[in-house]
């Protein structure tokens, strides 16, 4: 929280400045979660391993993208043969297990 407040105060030290808080709050949330789980930062300025952080950010983007999606085959079972939603989720879970 202190880092976020310092960043905001630096941005508006001289004059009022517009800031986009959505990404800053997302960074704060993910950094707090990962600091508790892995003891590392993956967002912001103090990232130690850039390649690992990049992989993590891509992974999180994929999780968010697929997290809210529904499986059409749940409503129309005939679509099971056309879609591979469950396979995509299984691959995503495997990536998550490997990463964590």
**Confidence (pLDDT) at 63:** 81
Distances (CA, A) of 89 to 27, 69, 78, 85, 99: 24, 11, 19, 6, 15
Mean pLDDT of the region 32-46: 75
Q: What are the sequence ranges of the domains in the chain?
A: 1-48
pLDDT score of 42 more than 80: no
Sort 42 into a burial class: Cβ within 10 Å, 0-12 / 13-18 / 19+.
buried
**Confidence (pLDDT) at 58:** 83
pTM of this structure = 0.57
Mean pLDDT of the region 19-27: 82
Distances (CA, A) of 62 to 39, 68, 70, 75, 95: 22, 11, 14, 24, 11
Angle at 22 between CA 19 and CA 27, to 5 degrees: 105
Q: What is the average pLDDT score of the chain?
A: 77
pLDDT score of 52 more than 80: no
């Amino acid at each position: 929280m202190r880092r976020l407040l310092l960043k905001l105060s630096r941005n508006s030290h001289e004059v009022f400045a517009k800031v986009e808080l959505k990404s800053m709050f997302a960074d704060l949330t993910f950094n707090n979660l990962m600091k508790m789980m892995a003891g590392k930062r993956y967002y912001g300025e103090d990232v130690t391993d850039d390649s690992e952080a990049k992989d993590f950010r891509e992974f999180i983007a994929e999780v968010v993208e697929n997290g809210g999606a529904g499986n059409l085959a749940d409503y129309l079972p005939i679509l099971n043969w056309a879609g591979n939603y469950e396979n995509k989720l299984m691959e995503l879970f495997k990536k998550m297990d490997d990463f964590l």
